[in-house]
Amino acid sequence: MIDKLLLKTVVIFSFVTGAILGIIPLIPAFIWLAFLLLMLFTAPFILIYLKRLDFIKEYNMEQTLIIGGVSGFSACIGFAVIYLPIAFILQLIFKIQSFIWIKVLFTNIGFLIPMVILTALTCALINAFSAFLTSYFLFFNQGKGNK
């Protein structure tokens, strides 16, 4: 099982990472790049970063999947907390055409909240898998280096 200090650290680091990724798509050309980074590469980044800081002593699959899922979910929530309100304000002030869909979302909060949660759950699933792949390749390289 995973200890609570490591879990809190994962949540904080991934929320901050998601918040940083929430600033990037305010330039409309980078929306898909930031979303791709959020969906696929948040958990491997957090996993490697925590390993370098020596928060993770050894990789096991259960711990890796939990870290991947938690980091994907909290990074997506951090992304939504930063990106959606700022994009809504930009849409109201500057009438930017690429943010018009956010104005529609904010007019119906009953749709916005489940959509963010569903996206966060999808992000958690995909990040758990990418963390699993990262852990597998780190195990493979680590085992190969010992021989």
Which tokens hold the place of 124? 């958690």
| Domain ranges across the chain | 4-146
**Tens-of-pLDDT digits for all 147 residues of the chain?**
788 999 999 999 999 999 999 999 988 889 899 999 999 999 999 999 999 999 888 778 899 999 999 999 999 999 999 999 998 888 888 887 777 788 788 888 888 899 999 999 999 999 999 999 999 988 777 765 444
Q: Residue 7's closest CA among 79, 80, 62, 82?
A: 62
How far apart are alpha carbons 125 and 36 in whole angstroms? Answer: 14
Residue 26 per-residue DSSP state: G
Q: Residue 17's closest CA among 51, 50, 53?
A: 50
Whole-structure pTM value = 0.89
So what's the pLDDT on residue 23? 95
Query: Which residues are CB-neighbours of 129 under 8 A, at least 6 positions away?
Result: 68
User: Are 120 and 73 spatial neighbours (Cβ–Cβ below 8 Å)?
Assistant: yes
The values of phi and psi at residue 60, to 5°, are: -130, 155
Given the structure tokens 């939990």, which residue do they identify?
Answer: 66
How far apart are alpha carbons 54 and 49 in whole angstroms? Answer: 9
Q: Residue 42's closest CA among 62, 22, 63?
A: 22
So what's the pLDDT on residue 145? 43
Q: Residue 126's closest CA among 38, 12, 6, 23?
A: 38
